[in-house]
């Protein structure tokens, strides 16, 4: 499948949304009254790095709903704040204990553990401030806050199971694994699609429930797929390629797709999920083509 990819291997459709969200976040942080040291730590973890996939998905989900991509920018910024918080805390010594993120030292390595914890705390709160202050209507604000709160709880719950376990003894390993991945990573990706769709619908004055349902199924399939690929990258890629330590999951005793099923079966599962995701939006018109392209890219990404 041919793709128009930039230097970092990202499809061209990611460029405009990623730049818009980066600019929005930069301006938002410049206007916040917090200690400069904390703002510097937040900028370090949040800006100039990352694929920005959640805002990109929100933008094209808004477009698929017939709205402007720009309408999704506050939602995308809020998603990226929660995502960056999740990465900063995921990397802490008490969690995955990682030294490298996005090709540079993790925040706790750069600014110390206390600052990393506090920056994560602040980014969580700021995500909701973006949505309370940055939406064109109170109804939209309320809907997006509910979506993001639910998804953030899902992500945190997934991190609990991933890090500390706690499943009932009867739950088979395959079910545990799917639950972890659908929550720790899938929840925010699903929310990105739903929130974008809600922004696009709202810009036209009505919520199309069938469309939200289609994009929810799309987001669920690509969300699980995203973490399976992340597991595969840990096994198959170099640290230089992905900008974070690789070969760690098995050593750390993580339950992952390649650990439980092997690489070949994990690749098969990715193909099934790609098919499922594309099927869930097959009735949408050409407005959903960027989502189709992103789905194909996400099934093949190597960073």
- 3-class SS at 109? helix
Look-up of token digits 């600019």 = 23
Residue 97 to residue 144: CA distance in whole angstroms: 32
Assign 104 to helix, strand or coil. Answer: strand
- Residue 180 tokens, joined: 């972890």
- The secondary structure element, H or E, covering residue 141 is helix 138-164
- Contact partner at residue 102 from ligand IPE, Mg ion, none, CB < 5 to 8 Å by partner kind: ligand IPE
CB closer to ligand IPE out of 62 and 159: 159
Sequence-distant (6+) residues with CB within 8 A of 173 are 255, 260
Q: How far apart are CA 85 and CA 97, in angstroms?
A: 15
Q: Site for ligand IPE (CB under 6 A): which residue of 227, 228, 235, 261?
A: 227
Nearer to ligand IPE, 47 or 203 (CB): 47
Is-contact 33 67, C-beta < 8 A? no
Q: Which of 73, 82, 87, 232 binds ligand IPE (CB under 6 A)?
A: 87
Query: CB 101 → ligand IPE: shortest distance, Å?
Result: 7
Under the criterion CB under 6 A, does residue 214 sit at the interface with ligand IPE?
no
96 is a site residue for ligand IPE (CB under 6 A): yes
Residue among 70, 121, 178, 230 that touches ligand IPE (CB under 6 A): 230
Residue showing the smallest CB distance to ligand IPE in the complex: 50
Give the C-alpha distances (Å, rounded to integers) separating 235 from 34, 79, 100, 182, 221. 40, 27, 16, 20, 22
Phi-psi region of 74 (alpha: psi -120 to 50; beta: other; left: phi over 0): alpha
> Which of Mg ion, ligand IPE, none sits in contact with 269, Cβ below 5 to 8 A by type?
none
Q: Does 230 bind Mg ion (CB under 5 A)?
A: yes
94 exposed, middle or buried (CB, 10 Å; 0-12, 13-18, 19+)?
exposed
Interface pattern 42-81 for Mg ion (x via CB under 5 A): ----------------------------------------
Question: Is 85 within 8 Å of 225 (Cβ atoms)?
Answer: no
- Using the rule CB under 6 A, give the single segment among 25-33, 50-58, 135-143, 193-201 that binds ligand IPE: 50-58
Enumerate residues 128-157 that contact ligand IPE by CB under 6 A: 155
Taking the least distance from each CB to ligand IPE, the nearer of 53 and 78 is 53
Binding site for ligand IPE (CB under 6 A): 50-51, 53, 86-87, 90, 96, 102, 155, 159, 184-185, 227, 230, 244
């Amino acid at each position: 499948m041919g793709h128009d990819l930039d230097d970092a291997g990202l499809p061209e459709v990611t460029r405009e949304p990623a730049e818009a969200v980066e600019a929005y976040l930069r301006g938002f942080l410049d206007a916040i009254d917090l200690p400069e040291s904390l703002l510097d730590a937040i900028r370090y973890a949040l800006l100039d790095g990352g694929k920005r996939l959640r805002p990109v998905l929100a933008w094209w989900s808004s477009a698929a709903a017939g709205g402007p991509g720009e309408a999704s920018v506050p939602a995308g910024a809020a998603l990226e704040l929660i995502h960056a918080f999740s990465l900063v805390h995921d990397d802490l010594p008490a969690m995955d204990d990682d030294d490298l993120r996005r090709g540079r030292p993790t925040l706790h390595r750069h600014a110390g553990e206390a600052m990393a914890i506090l920056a994560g705390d602040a980014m969580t709160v700021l995500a909701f401030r973006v949505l309370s202050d940055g939406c064109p209507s109170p109804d939209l604000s309320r809907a997006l806050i509910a979506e993001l709160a639910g998804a953030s709880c899902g992500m945190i719950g997934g991190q609990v199971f991933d890090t500390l376990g706690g499943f009932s003894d009867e739950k088979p390993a395959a079910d545990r694994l799917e639950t972890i991945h659908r929550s720790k990573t899938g929840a925010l990706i699903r929310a990105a699609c739903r929130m974008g769709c809600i922004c696009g619908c709202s810009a036209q004055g009505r919520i199309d429930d069938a469309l939200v349902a289609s994009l929810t199924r799309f987001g669920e399939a690509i969300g699980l797929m995203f973490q399976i690929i992340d597991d595969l990258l840990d096994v198959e890629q170099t640290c230089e390629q992905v900008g974070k330590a690789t070969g760690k999951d098995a050593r750390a005793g993580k339950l992952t797709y390649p650990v439980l099923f092997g690489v070949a079966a994990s690749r098969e599962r990715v193909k099934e999920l790609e098919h499922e995701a594309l099927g869930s939006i097959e009735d949408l018109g050409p407005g959903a083509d960027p989502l189709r392209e992103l789905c194909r890219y996400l099934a093949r990404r190597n960073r």
